[in-house]
Structure 1
Amino acid sequence: MITYYAYPKCMTCRKGKSWLEQNKVEFNEIHIAENPPTKEQLAQMYQASGLELKKFFNTSGLVYRSLSLKDKLSTMSEDQQLELLASDGMLIKRPLAWDGKKVTLGFKEADYQNSWL
């Protein structure tokens, strides 16, 4: 079962959800702003993803820009970055899908086909 962190008003999240439904993939949707993943969950996802931690940030979001994170992330420790991500779901790139082993950030149909079918 996939845990699908999404923001209901986000068009990309809606596209990902629609793809999962059309392909009959079981998932549990969680409102990312109301219930963001914990620091520990984010650390697990980060380790499993093989991606740079900065890829987990929603760089086009208002919160990211208002905190001037573009300039600050490089000076922050991994622990500080995970703490920051867990503090505000709107900082996390979405949708974020996770099954305990694999993780996808954002919605790209090819990534979903490779990961969730």
Structure 2
Amino acid sequence: MAHIVFYTKPGCRGGIMQKQLLISSGHEIEERSILDEKWTPDTLYPYLKGLNVKEWYNKNAVAVKNGTVIPGSLPEDKALELLCSDPLLIKRPLMIVGDKLVAGFNVEYLKELIGLYNIPEEDLTKCQGKTEASICEKNS
């Protein structure tokens, strides 16, 4: 069993499903709002290092979907500044798992790292809103 600090957007259906999978796999979740944290490049980068800059972004964010923000178009320092100024753009969840900092919900990686069981076939990183005007987009 792992203790996981889980930064997500409150009310996000995808985040709720991800947490349910972690809990049903026997892990303890300490949920925190990604919006309440005062992110700085120094605090955010450790979660993102090792990923391509394009992968730092939440592909479901309204600004990404509508083309206002193009993932990978900015250098690292500018991308970090942008993500810190608008946490909804950050790939989520951000997790602290032991001494590891993780960005995004990579089922295969988490399965190896901490163990996941009864993994659903659906993509848990996809927006789970039912319509284009879902609660996720209204609150983005």
Q: Which has the higher helix share?
A: 1
Match of 1:4 in 2: 6
TM-score of the aligned structures, taking structure 1 as reference length = 0.76
Residue 65 (structure 1) shift:
4.5
Give me the CA root mean square deviation: 2.3
Equivalent residue, structure 2, for 1:40: 42
Q: RCO (CA 8 Å, sep 6+): is it higher in 1 or 2?
A: 1
Residue pair 1:102, 1:115 contacting (<8 A) in 2 also: no
Identity of aligned residues (%): 29
Bigger Rg, which one: 2
Stretch moving more, 87-96 or 32-41: 32-41
Alignment correspondent of 1:95: 93
Q: How does 1:10-25 map to 2 (within 5 A)?
A: 10-25=12-27
Scaled by the length of structure 2, the TM-score of the pair is 0.66
Could you say which residue in structure 2 is the equivalent of 1:84? 82
How many residue pairs are counted as aligned between the two chains? 112
- Distance change >3 Å, CA 53–CA 116, structure 1 → 2: farther
1:97 CA displacement: 1.9
Structure 2 runs not aligned, ≥5 long: 116-140
